[in-house]
């Protein structure tokens, strides 16, 4: 792969982070810039129902600055948003402002995907790939718990307890009372208790903590030891050391007192009590003895994930979904196992159409991946009902917790491609389609039209069509079907004529269909 620069932006509830790296030809990378701003995107918004105007303005201003820095390094930007945007009812307003005013497109990921990317980030900085680890990442709005081994996610859970969220709920007065702390502990405990049996079952070998609250605790432990380190990555602290930090925080019951605690940054002093209580309950209920700190987290995970995709796309002649996404698709497709042969045939034909029409649609490997995923899952809705099953497929894909490895916007696009593979073409009045950007609407129409044709090419469910070829001219597209020997594709031809409307509408060309006189020997 060619050398290129990449900027990974993590839009957290408390802070926005940006990491700019130079990616070498072998896929390794070096950091060339790091930026962090305490935006407090969730501040003042209650339980994140809405991002208030001041927080939104801070966020957009920060993104504008990040964009200038990224452009100075000629870096391609990948931005991921987490808890605050994930939950905000007005998140679309922020996403549109970010794109229009800062020129940055943001992907909002679910909690499981966030945890997966953080795990990948940790693996970049610590030699724990072969270890079974328990990962704890305490953010501003949520806490991610994950058990992983060998790059595989064995268990993950995103909890709606974070340092900013709990501070604004339980610690709004300058002086923190013992009763406030106790109420906060009970609240955290309600989230932790259901996980105890699951965590103990996996028997993790090593415990790793990441993000602001935990690194702040690590800095306080270092100060308590009278030690100095340039970086906290790989630093370990014992449970009894952490208990002493908790005692010092209980004693420092005002903001001013906490600012005097050695090792604690002033900008963390207002939320560290809540963050430390989350970790304290986790230590207590999971019976942890010590914790190792990772300086690497979500942004490094974004970098790893993008490099992995670039490397795969540029070095593999045959495109296919990566291992994590493949597992996600297989997990969902099990809902309708009897449709496996048809979905595989439709996927084969859809990808052949994609390749043949490259000069017409001008899409790339990422878009091809969306088509592949939608083709494999386009009929899972049959598990609910045959009536309007394409709509059921949309619902299953859009709401499945198994779509690990895909961002929310990618899941929405894949689900809509599957939804429009039959019946009505996309219309402005359709609510899910209407909220997409013009660019995303065009992409859905382009790919859904190919899936619609591919599905028609296996109308008989007999795999009559082995391959196809396409000729593109100014006003029309000629598609030649290559059937298997002794196959009778008359039903497929009829179905293609009935379902070519979306293709002709999208590409503004007439579709002419014919059958090759040189059929292939069937491989069935």
CATH value at residue 234: 3.30.420.150
What is the rounded average pLDDT for all residues in the chain? 91
Are residues 237 and 143 part of one domain? yes
Identify whether 489 is part of a domain. yes
Query: What's residue 455's pLDDT?
Result: 97
Identify whether 310 is part of a domain. no
Query: What's residue 335's pLDDT?
Result: 86
Are residues 102 and 133 part of one domain? no
Three-state DSSP class for 80? Answer: strand
- The CA distance from 1 to 365, in Å, is 15
178 exposed, middle or buried (CB, 10 Å; 0-12, 13-18, 19+)?
exposed
**Residue 234 CB: number of other CB atoms within 10 A?**
15
Q: Exposure string (b/e) for 312-322, b if CB count within 10 Å is 16 or more?
A: bbeeeeeeebe
Identify whether 303 is part of a domain. no
- Residue 24 DSSP code: P
Asked if residues 87 and 48 have their Cβ atoms less than 8 Å apart, the reply is yes
Are residues 79 and 11 part of one domain? yes
The number of residues in the chain equals 524
Main-chain dihedrals φ then ψ at residue 26, nearest 5 degrees: -85, 0
Query: What's residue 329's pLDDT?
Result: 87
Identify whether 46 is part of a domain. yes
Are residues 332 and 252 part of one domain? no
Are residues 12 and 101 part of one domain? yes
> CATH number for the domain including 35?
3.30.420.40
- The CA distance from 202 to 199, in Å, is 5
Q: What pLDDT, in 10s, does the model give residues 374-427?
A: 999 999 999 999 999 999 999 999 988 777 677 778 889 999 999 999 988 898
Q: Which residues of the chain have pLDDT under 50?
A: 45-46, 315-320, 522-524
Strands (E), 224-348: 236-238, 290-294
Are residues 351 and 283 part of one domain? no
**Whether pTM exceeds 0.85:** no
Are residues 414 and 272 part of one domain? no
> What Cα–Cα distance (Å) separates residue 20 from each residue in 26, 104, 126?
18, 15, 20
> Residue 155 contacts by C-beta under 8 Å, 6 or more apart in sequence?
145, 146, 147, 198, 199, 202
> Residue 461 contacts by C-beta under 8 Å, 6 or more apart in sequence?
341, 342
Q: What pLDDT, in 10s, does the model give residues 454-499?
A: 999 999 999 999 999 999 999 999 999 999 988 999 999 999 999 9
Are residues 159 and 105 part of one domain? no
Are residues 271 and 237 part of one domain? yes
Are residues 229 and 86 part of one domain? no
Query: What's residue 3's pLDDT?
Result: 87
> What is the domain extent for residue 327?
316-515
Are residues 92 and 197 part of one domain? no
Nearest to 22 by CA among 67, 76, 63, 65: 76
Beta bridge partners of 17: 10, 36
Query: What's residue 312's pLDDT?
Result: 62
Are residues 393 and 327 part of one domain? yes
Strands (E), 195-353: 206-210, 236-238, 290-294
Query: What's residue 322's pLDDT?
Result: 54
Identify whether 376 is part of a domain. yes
Main-chain dihedrals φ then ψ at residue 427, nearest 5 degrees: -130, 150
> What Cα–Cα distance (Å) separates residue 178 from each residue in 165, 184, 252?
19, 10, 12
Q: Where a domain ends, among 109, 136, 158?
A: 109
Identify whether 120 is part of a domain. no
Identify whether 132 is part of a domain. yes
Q: Where a domain ends, among 50, 76, 109?
A: 109
Max CA-CA distance within the chain?
86
The total of structural domains in the chain comes to: 3
Percent pLDDT > 70 in the chain is: 95
Identify whether 289 is part of a domain. yes
CA angle in degrees (0–180, nearest 5) for 233-235-238: 150
- The CA distance from 191 to 458, in Å, is 48
Nearest to 220 by CA among 264, 254, 252, 265: 264
Q: How many CA atoms lie within 13 A of 184 on its CB side?
A: 29
> CATH number for the domain including 490?
1.10.3210.10
Query: What's residue 30's pLDDT?
Result: 86
Three-state DSSP class for 114? Answer: helix
Classify strands 29-37 and 16-23 as parallel, antiparallel or unpaired: antiparallel
- The CA distance from 190 to 286, in Å, is 14
């Amino acid at each position: 792969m060619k050398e290129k620069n990449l900027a990974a932006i993590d839009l957290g509830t408390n802070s926005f982070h940006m990491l700019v790296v130079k990616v070498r030809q072998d896929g390794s990378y070096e950091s060339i810039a790091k930026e962090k701003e305490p935006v407090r995107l969730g501040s003042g918004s209650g339980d994140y129902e809405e991002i208030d105007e001041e927080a939104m303005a801070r966020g957009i201003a920060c993104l504008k600055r990040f964009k200038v820095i990224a452009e100075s390094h000629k870096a391609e930007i990948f931005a991921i948003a987490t808890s605050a945007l994930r939950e905000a009812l007005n998140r679309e307003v922020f996403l549109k402002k970010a794109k229009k005013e800062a020129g940055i497109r943001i992907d909002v990921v679910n909690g499981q995907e966030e945890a997966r990317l953080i795990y990948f980030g940790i693996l970049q900085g610590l030699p724990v790939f072969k270890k079974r680890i328990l990962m704890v990442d305490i953010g501003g709005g949520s806490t991610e718990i994950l058990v992983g081994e060998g790059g595989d996610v064995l268990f993950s859970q995103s909890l709606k307890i974070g340092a900013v969220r709990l501070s604004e709920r339980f610690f709004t007065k300058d002086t923190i009372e013992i009763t406030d702390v106790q109420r906060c502990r009970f609240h955290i405990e309600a989230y932790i208790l259901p996980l105890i049996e699951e965590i103990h079952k996996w028997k993790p070998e090593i415990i790793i903590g990441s993000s602001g609250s935990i690194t702040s605790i690590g800095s306080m432990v270092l100060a308590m030891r009278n030690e100095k380190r340039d970086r906290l990555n790989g630093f370990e602290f014992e449970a009894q050391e952490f208990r002493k930090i908790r005692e010092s925080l209980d004693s420092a019951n005002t903001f001013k007192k906490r600012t005097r605690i050695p090792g604690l940054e002033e900008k963390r002093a207002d939320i560290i009590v809540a963050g430390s209580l989350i970790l304290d309950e986790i230590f207590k209920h999971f019976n942890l003895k010590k914790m190792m700190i990772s300086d690497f987290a979500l942004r490094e995970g974004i970098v790893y994930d993008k490099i992995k995709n670039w490397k795969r796309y540029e070095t593999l002649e045959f495109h296919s979904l990566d291992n994590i996404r493949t597992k996600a698709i297989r997990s969902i497709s099990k809902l309708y196992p009897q449709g496996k042969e048809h979905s595989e045939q439709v996927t084969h034909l859809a990808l052949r159409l994609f390749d043949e029409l490259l000069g017409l649609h001008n899409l790339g490997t990422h878009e091809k991946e969306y088509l592949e995923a939608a083709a494999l899952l386009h009929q899972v809705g049959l598990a609910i009902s045959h009536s309007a099953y394409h709509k059921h497929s949309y619902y299953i894909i859009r709401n499945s917790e198994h779509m690990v490895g895909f961002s929310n916007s990618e899941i929405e696009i894949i689900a809509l491609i599957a939804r429009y593979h039959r019946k009505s073409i996309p219309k402005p009045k359709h609510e899910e389609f209407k909220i997409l950007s013009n660019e995303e609407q065009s992409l859905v129409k382009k790919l859904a039209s190919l899936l619609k044709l591919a599905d028609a090419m296996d109308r008989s469910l007999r795999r009559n069509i082995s391959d196809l070829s396409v000729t593109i001219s100014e006003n029309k597209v000629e598609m030649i079907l290559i059937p298997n020997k002794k196959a009778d594709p008359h039903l497929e031809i009829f179905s293609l004529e009935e379902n070519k409307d979306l293709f002709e509408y999208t590409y503004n060309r007439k579709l002419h269909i014919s059958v090759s006189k040189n059929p292939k020997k069937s491989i069935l």
